Structure 1
Amino acid sequence: MATERTGNVELDACIEQWLSWDKNETTNAEIIGLVKDNDIGELKKRLLKRISFGTAGLRARMGAGSAYMNDVTVIQATQGILRHLEATRNEELKKSGVVIGYDGRYNSHRFAELTATVFLNAEVPVYLYSKINATPYVPYAVTHYGCQCGIMVTASHNPKEDNGYKVYWYNGAQIASPLDKHLAESINNNLTPWETSWNTDILHDNPLVKDPYEEILEAYNKDLQSLCYQKELNQSSPLRFTYTAMHGVGYPYTVRAMEEFGFSPPIPVKEQVEANPDFPTVKYPNPEEGEGALKLSMETADAHGSTIILANDPDADRLAVAEKVNGHWKIFTGNELGALFGWWLFYSFTKSNPEFPTTDLYMLSSTVSSKILQAIAIKENFNFIETLTGFKWMGNRTSALMEEGKRVLFAFEEAIGFMCGDKVLDKDGVSAAAVMAEMATWLNGEGHTLSSQLEEIYKTYGYYLSINSYYISHDPSATERMFEELCNYNGTDNYPRSCGPYAISHVRDLNKGYDSSVVGGQPLLPTSKSSQMITFTFECGCVATLRTSGTEPKIKYYTEHCPNPNRGLDRDGVLKELQDIVKCIEKYFYQPEKFGFQART
């Protein structure tokens, strides 16, 4: 392990340290091979940086080195979480334990077993799933068993080269700031893998290890019945549903959920229904990508006379929906589905619970998502709450509301993430699929389609039309320059007052901690120095948010237009104006040619 391996003192120290830590022969050999090839650039990329731990836990490419997902970084994260729990909730931890699940990606089972090993060596009870599971089954199990922590090994819809490590706290919600910082500090204080952390033999015949699969399967689906409005009608549904798991884990869980609602099993997209870590039929295993990702689903549906497609992402926490109307497939956006879910869950709940005071009902959505729920809440006299981006915020806010005795019917984010009810405090594509099938069946009985009902919602509550997309930026410094230019657009500390011909009335910058719409300029939402998010409110009624992604090299934008009804714009007029605003944002704010950004393909 001599430091003269590369001639770079800092790098050679990291190489020596890594090779002394890593007991996995495959990843150990990767580093040795890079040293032999004298690939200094790759070694620096892998070893001079650490994978960051945040509110999304860990997520990165799999491979050797401290910057990637591997046995060492998983062990380090678990050791840090264990030590933090021992210091803050040790009595509860040793009594109620932790839940660990995993998806069908390469190394997911291995990472889950290493995670369990660290806890078991500290005599912490572990509920370790015996087979691949849907992500929602981990937060559900946390609250079901009263555990102190839940860990799901998954990279959700990321490319096949990636994996991740998602953390839930004792309330069943994802970790949020400042807990992530405390855990990151504890991880950094426990980087050296303990000898016992590699010994997965401790899992065998250990009385502290329990398989939660059967019990949670039954309990989850029993609780799911609280969302079912009309089981008898569902049993005779004339609609045929097509389902894709996108090469992920969702099929058995979604089939069971739909059966719980009275439906026959959906028609599976055979090429994608079984878990396959290579994701062979899709460029990106993300149903949010639209027609390209749903091509096989459409072919399967057409072959079987099916008019509705339900698509989970690989870990089954998201749901995409498409409907065939007049011979053409319409793929709903996350905001459109949010409008449909919000309308239906309020309608079905109040019909089933006419005495429940609507003033105690709540719905939530993130700041980059449609405000259609707010419009529905105002008209129907229930409560709406806007949160920061991510279900970590909505889940924790829901937990707090439940402690106050309130009822949360629904929460959503535009990235096709939906939380129906409050049994799982995270997005849940399994329950969402069953609820969507029931909604479509009820609407069919009323002579409506999902598409026609969406139009009715807009007519009743306002045309909240949105266009969301992103640019790819592989250069973080270019991303930073773009946002700095927006903060100093017309001189130092001045934001844009217009974008093309469209005047801007207010600006909110959650990175700088500024909101021109608030007296004193202090935003009502929490600020973050670690990420960029600027929201522009236009005088014409459009709201546009530009933000960096926490898990991908993307600069995303989210726009929504709901002009004053007095302007007399119909749906086409609203959409045309929104499309023009988006073009201006791309041209004047993103300036892709100047900064070298790549447009979404």
Structure 2
Amino acid sequence: MSSKKAHQTPAEVLKSLELSGQEDLDRQIKNWVSWDRNEATLDQVLDAVRDQDWQALRVRLCNRIPFGPGGLRGSMRAGFDSINDLVIIETAQGLAAYLSDSYPSIQKRETQGVVIGYDGRYNSKRFAQLTSAVFLNNNYKVYLFNRMTPTPFIPFAIAALKCLAGIVVTASHNPKEDNGFKVYAANGAQILPPSDTKIFEAIMANLEPKPSSWDLSILTGNPLLEDPYRQIYPVYYDTLRKLLPPVHLDTNECSQLRFIYTPMHGVGYSFMREAFYQARLKPLIPVPEQKDPDPEFHTLVYPNPEEGREALLMAIKKAEAEHCTVILANDPDADRLAAAELDAKGRWKIFTGNELGALLAWWALESYRTRTSKPDVSNCVMLSSTVSSRIVGAIARAEGFTHVETLTGFNWLGNKALELQAAGRTVLFAFEESLGFMFGMNVADKDGIAAATQLATMACHLRSTRNLTIIEKLREIYDTYGYHAAISSHYICGDPDLIETIFERLRNFEEEQPGTYPKSILDGDFEVVHVRDLTKGLDTAYADRKSRLPMIPGEQMIKFTFTNGFVVSLWSTSRDHKLRYCSELCGLPEEKEWLELNDKLHLMTQAVIEEFYQPNLHGLMRASQFDAL
């Protein structure tokens, strides 16, 4: 900054510049310059004004980053369409106003308050501190973790401390340029509609930052501010350990099985190390280059375990050097779990989310029976999302417990699990195919630490009692409950309008008959028998053609069921720029033609992509694909 510029106020600098002459844009420029006190982002806007880059300014200042059930997530840069100090303050002010309307009792706000955590990304700590300042200035009790913590600690702390809400600053497994603001309700689960809409309305009604919102001195010596770490840490691990029957703890202690672990440059290592100690497992062997938090994620193109082998290359190298056969991985905020195992032919099998869901569902049932000595499981429930494998439903039908399907996302899974628990049901497990697993009800959200501990305990149990590998157990599950061949993948698409065009084409597939969906693939060889379009609330499987799952007009989601039982879900959410698809074809337990089933699955999936998505996919980048076993 030049010395002359340094002595000018932002308003003086702006006065000396020529604006665009476009009323709405100029108003937003003036708002930004008047409100933003972060020198770096303020300079980005002022420099764009000097350069008369009106197009970039319009994109950044005349668009608002959406606030949905997942909160905020986006790139860190100047602009109301992005993540930065100003947008975080505006969001915190709106959330505080929403909660004050929801909880008018001042005593409740001053005693129960909110819990706030953050991950290891750039600016995460600062964003958490700014959020804390806003809530302290509104006379809320604030439990601010003063160190990086896994996302599951926030919903756990809400329940343990009886808070009114929780916030975690994280962009999970997004690229390093991104960050986010995730909100949990008083029940410890992620918020559901219409709460997100009401919070957004409160944000828009409280956009101008109060001067006090920028003042972090309020974090020093404030009686309403407390670090909950020492209180929450031991309680979290105590509840984690209680889900492990003593006999499994003994098996873990005797087992010689070792595990390679990567937190993908995230927060997970020290917390996973403690989990393994509490579970009496052999100490983890970390990937040294990825062990510590690193906001650059310097060894990974994408810090996302859903990328499969690409994300686990260094873990595989370390496992081979250490002669270990099992790899565990968390994403950077430690709420997801990925795993791989060396097979009998020396190849690494990277498990899909659906396969880990099958394994952990079996293990949840096995553990419950061991822990309670109750063979009757009729009161027990497991949940999975609508785009996940139907394997849990098959296990439920065979074993006598209940399976519940929800919309995609742990906001739906967690809230439904809490609802079932309140009704007296015993919730054992929930999962979604994107590597999210909830084991028990200690955390009403996905928890990669608990899931990894359970998977490692299962591996020790299988090896010690039956000399089985995880791969062999998965095959045994399919032999028992039917083979479930599945594919999950996605295309990268940064154009929301193109995504909408693709889905509207599916809803008007025949030009001469608007409102018709595709009826078949491969020249009519395989016919569509049912269509469920949750964007429109349609399900042709029912006589009234109404979906039994909630309608989600703000998202795109269509599921096709074919006459041979093949199902494919096509969807996209506002949280990312992905055009996702999941497909599945199931066989009965007595049907052993797995290769034939796989071949048919791949044939039909490819046909759906080519016939349903084309011609719109030109130029889109296809992501790494998880294939069936």
**Contact persistence 1:79–1:187 (CA under 8 A):** yes
Partner of 2:122: 106
Partner of 1:28: 42
Q: Does 1:373 align with 2:373?
A: no
The CA deviation at 1:463 is 0.8
Inter-partner Cα distance in structure 2 for 1:404 and 1:593: 46
TM-score, scaled relative to structure 2? 0.94
Q: State how 1:104-183 maps to structure 2 within 5 Å.
A: 104-183=120-199
Q: Does 1:544 align with 2:568?
A: yes
Partner of 2:311: 293
- 1:373-424 Cα deviation digits (max 9, x unpaired): 1111111111110000000001111111221222111000100000011010
The CA deviation at 1:502 is 1.6
The CA deviation at 1:484 is 1.0
Partner of 2:552: 528
**Contact persistence 1:248–1:314 (CA under 8 A):** yes
AA aligned to 1:317 is D
**Contact persistence 2:257–2:282 (CA under 8 A):** no
AA aligned to 2:549 is L
SS of residue matched to 2:103: helix
**Contact persistence 2:169–2:182 (CA under 8 A):** yes
AA aligned to 1:168 is Y
**Contact persistence 1:240–1:305 (CA under 8 A):** no
**Contact persistence 2:244–2:371 (CA under 8 A):** no
SS of residue matched to 2:289: coil
Inter-partner Cα distance in structure 2 for 1:115 and 1:250: 23
Partner of 1:576: 599
Partner of 1:269: 287
Structure 2: stretches of 5+ with no match in the other structure: 1-13, 625-629
- 1:177-210 Cα deviation digits (max 9, x unpaired): 1111111111111111111111110001111111
**Contact persistence 2:483–2:589 (CA under 8 A):** no
Q: 1:475 aligns with which of 495, 503, 526?
A: 495
Q: Does 1:205 align with 2:221?
A: yes
Q: 2:582 aligns with which of 523, 540, 558?
A: 558
The CA deviation at 1:592 is 4.9
The CA deviation at 1:569 is 5.7
Select between 103-112 and 557-566 the one with higher mean Cα deviation: 557-566
Partner of 1:509: 533
Q: State how 1:45-444 maps to structure 2 within 5 Å.
A: 45-91=59-105, 92-229=108-245, 230-326=248-344, 327-355=346-374, 357-444=376-463
SS of residue matched to 1:492: coil
The number of residues matched between the two structures is 600
- 1:486-533 Cα deviation digits (max 9, x unpaired): 111122111111122321110010112211101110100011111110
AA aligned to 2:405 is E
**Contact persistence 1:4–1:12 (CA under 8 A):** no
SS of residue matched to 1:412: strand
Inter-partner Cα distance in structure 2 for 1:199 and 1:217: 29
**Contact persistence 1:258–1:433 (CA under 8 A):** no
Inter-partner Cα distance in structure 1 for 2:382 and 2:474: 18
AA aligned to 2:112 is S
Inter-partner Cα distance in structure 1 for 2:338 and 2:138: 41
**Contact persistence 1:246–1:273 (CA under 8 A):** yes
Inter-partner Cα distance in structure 2 for 1:228 and 1:158: 32
TM-score, scaled relative to structure 1? 0.98
- 1:434-458 Cα deviation digits (max 9, x unpaired): 1011000001111111000000000
**Contact persistence 2:518–2:612 (CA under 8 A):** no
- 1:447-486 Cα deviation digits (max 9, x unpaired): 1110000000001111111001111222222211111111
AA aligned to 2:318 is T
Partner of 1:466: 486
AA aligned to 2:478 is Y
Structure 1: stretches of 5+ with no match in the other structure: none
Q: 2:477 aligns with which of 454, 457, 461?
A: 457
The CA deviation at 1:353 is 1.0
- 1:66-122 Cα deviation digits (max 9, x unpaired): 000011111111111111111111323222111000000000000000000011111
User: What's the C-alpha RMSD, in Å, of the aligned pairs?
Assistant: 1.3
Partner of 2:8: none
**Contact persistence 1:482–1:595 (CA under 8 A):** no
AA aligned to 1:550 is S
Select between 183-192 and 312-321 the one with higher mean Cα deviation: 183-192
